[in-house]
Amino acid sequence: MMRVLVFGQTGQVATELSRLTCDDIALTCLGRDRADLTAPEACAAIIAASDADVVINAAAYTAVDRAESEEDLATLINATAPGAMAQACAARSIPFLHISTDYVFDGAGTRPWQPDDPTGPLGAYGRSKLAGEKAVCDAKGPHAILRTSWVVSAHGANFVKTMLRLGAERERLTIVADQVGGPTPAADIAAALLTMARAFHDGRGVTGTYHFSGAPDVSWAAFAREIFSQAGLTPVVEDIPTSAYPTPARRPANSRMDCATLTRDYGIDRPDWRDSLRAILKDLKEI
């Protein structure tokens, strides 16, 4: 039996982790009431006192625009806390799995980003996540950093749920069409993390930074059209450039991610987000 300690309980990935039932895994998910990431040393102490075989950090500060005015808080949660967790795991020689983001890149060009490409975050959120990656690596314990993009599910706030709400209210929507990436269902991220956890537990884990995103790559506007098509909604989608939808934080235009090393080292392929979208819509009908 593999004992997995998860930081996070109500977020999209943590929720999906808690829904996975596996006979060979004992999963413990810690919410903010039990593990507050604004208290990094307390989080480290939880790991030190636990009997976990693997630790997964599925908690984060994710308010991209608000981070522009709360960078210290974002950095505390997204960098200092994961660093303390990683050090506690390294002290016990147990693997630490950590979720990061495409926002560590500047979004230039059209080539899919590879894990070892130079980083260059455009805003506070990306800087905080990149600092977290460095802190995890600096702990020098067994670890895997999983960069993801455009996370969606039937839970929490995300693009799918926003489009379903707006698509039911309006006849026409203007949606950004010059940002391109891979929508990534939280359920697939959860499954990938457990596959990686099992590999480490069995002595097959590979320390490193990996990319994981859904396929095929699309624009936000094209993603919205597929959501409406599957949901039976009929608003007209008008493509607009990013410049027509200003936000406090800049978003990367190119969020395409090369996921080949994850397939090579862990046998995990990119999921077809269109299939996963059908499952999300089914979940929403049942909630």
Q: What is the pLDDT of residue 62?
A: 95
Q: What is the pLDDT of residue 199?
A: 97
Axis crossing angle, helix 273-286 with helix 159-169, rounded to the nearest 10: 70
**Residues in Cβ contact with 229 at an 8 Å cutoff, skipping those fewer than 6 apart:** none
Question: Quick one: average pLDDT of 64-92?
Answer: 98
What is the C-alpha separation between 137 and 174, in angstroms, rounded?
41
Please tell us whether the domain made up of 2-157+184-215+257-271 is placed in CATH 3.30.70.120.
Answer: no
- pLDDT 10s digits, 237-284: 999 999 999 999 999 999 999 999 999 999 999 999 999 999 999 999
Q: What is the model's pTM?
A: 0.96
- pLDDT 10s digits, 117-141: 999 999 999 999 999 999 999 999 9
Q: Which of 125, 210, 245, 266 is catalytic?
A: 125
Q: What is the pLDDT of residue 231?
A: 96
Q: Which of 49, 41, 42, 38 is nearest to 28 (CA)?
A: 49
Residue 245 appears among annotated catalytic residues: no
pLDDT band at residue 216, thresholds of 50, 70 and 90?
A: very high
Question: Quick one: average pLDDT of 69-79?
Answer: 98
pLDDT band at residue 31, thresholds of 50, 70 and 90?
A: very high
pLDDT at 287 over 80: no
Contact criterion met (CB below 8 Å) for 273 and 217: no
